[in-house]
Amino acid sequence: MSSALSHWFSFNSWWLLLPFVMLLVVAAFIVAFVLLLYMISPLISPNPLKLNGAHVVVTGGSSGIGKCIAMECYKHGAFITLVARDEHKLVQAKKEVEKCAINDKQVVLCISVDVSKDYNQVESVIKQAQEKLGPVDMLVNCAGTSISGKFEEVEVDRFKKLMEVNYLGSVYPTRAVVTTMKERRMGRIMFVSSQAGQIGLFGYTAYSPSKFALRGLAEALQMEMKPYNIYVTVAYPPDTDTPGFAEESKTKPLETKLISETSGVCQPEQVAKIVVKDAVQGNFTSSFGPDGYMLSALTCGMSPVTSITEGLQQIVTMGLFRTIALFYLGSFDSIVRRCMIQREQSKAADKRE
């Protein structure tokens, strides 16, 4: 009898311990899997681009983020071609970039052209730059503009203008350099989008679509270019303290200002360091801060990854980030409703007077 009871207790004790044993096995498997990913991920990552002696072309390089990217690359020994429309600003930017030289062989070339107007002209000036400074190793598409306003209040031709500058202004220079990059089996192409190119916000019905378009271009282009050892990076900076941002802020709707204030304003030098590092490493996505990391994970979709670990992080965090995002969206909707109610009350008060 005692033998039977002992057998029964030992049998049931085993079943009680089984969940814990299974949990330990699963935990051990996850740890082993993560360690394996960290071990093999460097094998599938691209070799970093060496900026020392490289030729970097920066469109929109006369001010703001573009100028700071040029300065950051120059600090690493690159040769720079600055492309922008305003000749006076280009000359000033050249002087600032040249102060960042690390050797006396470096050169800064300035080209005044509107990259959104005529592809043949863009192709011609890129060819001239390559004849003077050698093949383009990295292209930074930073030329862009922004306007904000309610959908029905934005002039129709401004929608076309933003697509020309923000989208075609990146297509044309990219088209002008990819053939040589493919022949050399190397290169980096960066598109500077915006966090407004990851999430559509109040007041950005003209701006957001032009920045969203860069994401689609970059994903398709990366699939074409990867076999040739050419890597594409899309940067999603938040509001950044630049002349363009200051100009845009003058006409921002109240709702847009209140929503933007939830994430703060970055400095262009800080943005430049991060995007240059990501481009050199060949990372497809370049984001900024906790909000930027969350947005990039949430909107990754079918985007390429540079390492398996990056993909694993996106898989693990997706559900949590979506939950957090719902609270953000609720807050944004609340801001919009509150502003609408205040306007209606103000109109009603004016009518009574």
Give the tens place of pLDDT for each residue, 222-250.
999 999 999 999 999 988 888 888 888 88
Indicate if the alpha-carbon torsion angle 27, 33, 36, 38 is positive or negative. Answer: negative
C-alpha distances out from residue 65 to 46, 126, 224, 240, 272, Å:
25, 21, 28, 8, 6
Indicate if 50 belongs to the active site: no
Q: What pLDDT is stored for residue 8 in this prediction?
A: 46
**210 carries an active-site annotation:** no
Which three-class secondary structure state does DSSP give residue 58? strand
Look at 329 and 352; give whichever has higher pLDDT.
329
Q: Which of 3-7, 68-72, 286-290 has the lowest mean pLDDT?
A: 3-7
The SS3 call for residue 198 is coil
Q: Is 6 a residue whose pLDDT tops 60?
A: no
Q: What is the pLDDT of residues 96-106, one digit of tens each?
A: 999 999 999 99
Q: How far is CA 8 from the centre of its chain?
A: 62
108-111, long-range: CB < 8 A, 24+ apart: 108/70, 108/74, 108/79, 108/80, 108/81, 108/82, 109/79, 109/80, 109/81, 109/82, 109/133, 110/81, 110/82, 111/81, 111/82, 111/83
Given 74, 167, 172, 207, which residue is catalytic?
A: 207
Query: For residue 43, is it within any domain?
Result: no
* Cα–Cα distance, 125 to 132 (Å, whole number): 11
pLDDT recorded at residue 139: 98
Does 48 map to a domain? no
User: Does residue 128 fall inside a structural domain?
Assistant: yes
Digit-coded pLDDT (tens) for 51-102: 999 999 999 999 999 999 999 999 999 999 999 999 999 999 999 999 999 9
142 in a structural domain: yes
Say if 192 falls within a structural domain: yes
Sorting pLDDT into bands at 50, 70 and 90, what band is 3? Answer: low
pLDDT value of residue 75: 96
Q: Catalytic residue at 211? A: yes
Q: Record the pTM.
A: 0.85
pLDDT of residue 4: 54
Instruction: Give which of 105, 186, 101 is closest to 139, Cα–Cα.
Output: 186
Lowest-pLDDT range, 102-106, 259-263, 340-344? 259-263
Cα Rg of the chain, angstroms: 26
Choosing from 210, 211, 236, 252, the catalytic residue is 211
Q: Which two tokens stand for residue 201?
A: 């916000």
Across-strand partners of 235?
A: 192, 286
Within a domain: 4: no
**pLDDT interval class at 5 (50, 70, 90):** very low
What CATH number corresponds to the domain at position 296? Answer: 3.40.50.720
* Amino acid sitting at position 180: T
The boundaries of the domain holding residue 137 are 55-317
Q: Which residue has the tokens 């076999």?
A: 227
Query: For the chain, what is the mean pLDDT?
Result: 89
Structural domains of the chain, count? 1
Lowest pLDDT segment from 21-35, 48-62, 272-286, 308-322: 21-35
Return the pLDDT at 9: 46
Buried b (16+ CB within 10 A) or exposed e, 101-136: eeeeebebbbbbbbbbeeeeebbebbeebbeebebb
State which H helix or E strand residue 284 sits in: none
Residue of 21 and 75 predicted with greater confidence = 75
Asked whether residue 40 carries a pLDDT value surpassing 70, the answer given is no
Q: What is the pLDDT of residue 307?
A: 78
Is position 152 within any domain? yes
Domain presence at residue 226: yes
Catalytic residue among 63, 193, 208, 307: 193
